[in-house]
């Protein structure tokens, strides 16, 4: 009797994608592999490169072995970034001082920042991609948020949510330092 053959990579990808209730569009966005290529791989019409399989595994959040040999328990995330490893972006000596708390692989998906404003400093931002949102929580001091033609002054503990796909600014309005926690959530592109 001949031993059973392991499922093919395309079948494993399709099974794992469906188990996660993910469309081809969603997997394409998460993995960076085109929808057309994913469809061909799942249909066993092409033999993907190791780099492509690795991207798909990351998009499905499973280890590479799960795609090659079946299985497929999701990789449970646990990541720590130490304070001394956090990137700091300073626009000038007078601020704002921007600490990038989220890891680089989250860029243009979900970005998390800690902003420190010296008196009089302003974070002036051009429009982000359509549908992008910012969530601000003031930790210390006060800031004025202007989004398009709307404006509000926020004090410690205040929270603001706004679409940042228009010109927007955050300006320190008080004395001393102001600290703000900011999350930027990008809307995933919709594929035609």
- Is beta strand 133-140 parallel, antiparallel or unpaired with respect to 159-163? antiparallel
pLDDT score of 74: 57
* CA trace torsion 124, 184, 153, 150 (10° rounding): 70
pLDDT digits (tens, 9 = 90+) for 147-186: 999 999 999 999 999 999 999 999 998 889 999 999 999 8
User: Can you tell me the mean pLDDT for 83-95?
Assistant: 78
pLDDT of residue 105 exceeding 80: no
Separation between Cα atoms, residue 169 and residue 108, nearest integer Å:
19
Q: What is the mean pLDDT of the chain?
A: 85
Per-residue confidence band for 104, with pLDDT thresholds at 50, 70 and 90: confident
Angle between helices 35-42 and 9-19 (to 10 degrees): 120
What's the pLDDT score for residue 85? 87
User: Averaged over 22-39, what is the pLDDT?
Assistant: 91
Average pLDDT over residues 97-123: 89
Min mean pLDDT across 81-85, 112-116, 171-175 is at 81-85
Band (188; pLDDT cuts 50, 70, 90)? low
Largest CA distance in the chain: 81
- Going from N- to C-terminal start, the domains of the chain cover 9-69, 83-185
The answer to whether the predicted template modeling score (pTM) of the entire model surpasses 0.75 is: no
Domain 83-185 in CATH 2.60.120.10? The answer is yes
Pick the CATH number of 9-69 from 1.10.260.40, 3.90.1150.10, 3.30.1330.40, 3.40.50.10860: 1.10.260.40
């Amino acid at each position: 009797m001949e031993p059973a053959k392991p499922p093919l990579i395309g079948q494993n990808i399709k099974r794992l994608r469906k188990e996660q209730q993910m469309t081809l569009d969603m997997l394409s966005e998460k993995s960076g592999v085109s929808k057309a290529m994913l469809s061909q791989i799942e249909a066993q019409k092409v033999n993907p490169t190791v780099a492509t399989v690795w991207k798909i595994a990351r998009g499905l959040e499973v280890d590479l072995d799960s795609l090659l040999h079946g299985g497929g328990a999701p990789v449970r995330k646990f990541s720590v970034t130490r304070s001394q490893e956090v990137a700091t972006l300073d626009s000038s000596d007078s601020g704002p001082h921007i600490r990038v708390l989220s890891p680089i692989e989250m860029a243009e998906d979900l970005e998390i920042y800690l902003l420190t404003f010296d008196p009089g400093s302003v974070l002036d931002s051009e429009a982000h991609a359509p549908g992008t949102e910012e969530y601000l929580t003031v930790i210390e001091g006060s800031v004025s948020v202007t989004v398009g033609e709307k404006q509000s002054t926020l004090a410690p503990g205040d929270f603001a949510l706004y679409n940042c796909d228009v010109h927007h600014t955050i300006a320190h309005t008080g004395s001393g330092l102001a600290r703000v926690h900011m999350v930027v959530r990008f809307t995933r592109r919709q594929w035609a």
